[in-house]
Structure 1
Amino acid sequence: MRVKLCLLFFVFASYSFASCSAERKPPSPAVQEYLEEVVRIMQANFVHRATINWVAFKQNMLAQASGAQTIEQAYPAVEFAIGALGDKHTQFYSARPVKGPEKLPAKQPPLYPDEPVAEDIGYIRIPWVVGSKEQLDAYITQVQAHIKARDKPALKGWIVDLRGNMGGNMWPMLVGAGPILGEDTLGYCIDANNTKTAWRYEKGKAFADGDIQAETATYYTLKSANPVVAVLTDTLTASSGEAVAVAFKARKHTRSFGAVTCGVSTSRSRFYLSDGSVLLLTTEVFADRRLVRYGHSLPPDESLRPAEVVPRAIHWIREEYKAKN
Structure 2
Amino acid sequence: MQANSINRAAINWVDFKKNLLAEASGAKTIEQAYPAVVFAIVALGDKHSFFVPARPVKGPELPTPKQPPIYLDEPVPGDIGYIRIPWVVGSQEKLDAYITSVQAQIKERDKRELKGWLVDLRGNMGGNMWPMLVVAGPILGEDTLGYFFDSNNIKTAWRYEKGKALLDGDVQAETANYYTLKSAQPVVAVLTDTLTASSGEAVAVAFKARKHTRSFGAGTCGVSTCNSSFYLSDGSIIWLTTAVLADRRLVPYGHSIAPDEPLKPTEVVPRAVRWIREEYKAKK
Q: TM-score range by the shorter chain?
A: over 0.9
The answer to whether 1:276 aligns with 2:225 is no
1:320 aligns with 2:271: no
1:79 to 35, 38, 42: 38
Distance in 2, matches of 1:153 and 1:240, equals 30
Q: Which of 299, 307, 310 does residue 269 from structure 2 map onto?
A: 310
- Residue 104 (structure 1) shift: 10
1:212-266 residue CA offsets vs partner (Å, 9 max, x unmatched): 1111111111111111100000111111111100000010110100011111111
Q: Are residue 201 (structure 1) and residue 147 (structure 2) matched?
A: no
Matching of residue 151 in structure 1 with residue 95 in structure 2 = no
Q: Partners in 2 of 1:71 and 1:133 — Cα distance? A: 30
1:247 equivalent in structure 2 = 206
Q: Which moved more, 1:89-98 or 1:289-298?
A: 89-98
Matched position secondary structure for 1:256: strand
Structure 2 unaligned regions, length at least 5? none
Report the Cα offset of residue 68 of structure 1.
3.6
SS in structure 2 opposite 1:122? strand
Cα displacement (A) at 1:202: 0.9
Residue 111 of structure 1 contacts residue 127 of structure 1 at CA under 8 Å; is this kept in 2?
no
2:70 to 105, 111, 124: 111
Segments of 4+ moved more than 6 angstroms? none
Instruction: Give the Cα–Cα distance (whole angstroms) in 2 for the partners of residues 177 and 193 of structure 1.
Output: 30
Structure-2 residue corresponding to 1:43: 2
TM-score, L = length of structure 1: 0.83
- The counterpart of 2:189, out of the listed 223, 227, 230, is 230
3-state DSSP of counterpart to 1:322: helix
- Structure 1 residues 69 and 108, CA gap change in structure 2 (3 angstroms): closer
Q: TM-score under structure 2 normalisation? A: 0.94
Are the aligned partners of 1:152 and 1:223 in contact in 2 as well (CA < 8 Å)?
yes
Secondary structure, counterpart of 2:2 in structure 1: helix
Partners of 2:30 and 2:58 in 1: CA distance: 13
**Any idea what the Cα deviations from partners look like across 1:105-154, whole Å, max 9, x if unmatched?**
86752431111111111111101112222221121122121111111121
Report the counterpart of residue 214 of structure 1 in structure 2: 173
Classify the secondary structure of the residue corresponding to 1:319.
helix
Partner residue in 1 for 2:92: 133
More helix by share: 1
- Name the residue aligned to 2:145: 186
- Whole-angstrom CA distance in 1 between matches of 2:36 and 2:78: 57
2:36 aligned counterpart, secondary structure? helix
User: Does residue 295 of structure 1 match 2:230?
Assistant: no
Query: What's the counterpart of residue 24 of structure 1?
Result: none
Counterpart amino acid of 1:112? Y
Local SS of the residue matching 1:323 = helix
Larger-gyration structure (1/2): 1
Identical pairs, percent: 79
